[in-house]
Amino acid sequence: MKAFRLDELEGERLANDGAYLQFLRERNMSVGLYALDAGQMDPQTPHAQDEVYVVMSGRASITVGEETTQVGRGSVVYVPAGVTHRFHHVSEPLRVLVVFSPPES
Mean pLDDT of the chain: 96
pTM of the model: 0.93
Q: What is the mean pLDDT of residues 33-44?
A: 96
Q: What is the mean pLDDT of residues 65-73?
A: 98
CA–CA dist 20, 32 (Å, integer):
7
Which ranges constitute the DSSP H helices of the chain?
6-15
Band of pLDDT at residue 104, cut at 50, 70 and 90? confident
Q: What is the pLDDT of residue 42?
A: 96
End-to-end Cα spacing for the chain = 23
C-alpha angle with apex 104: 17 to 99, nearest 5 degrees? 85
Residue 64, pLDDT > 90, answer yes
Q: What is the mean pLDDT of residues 31-52?
A: 96
Band of pLDDT at residue 91, cut at 50, 70 and 90? very high
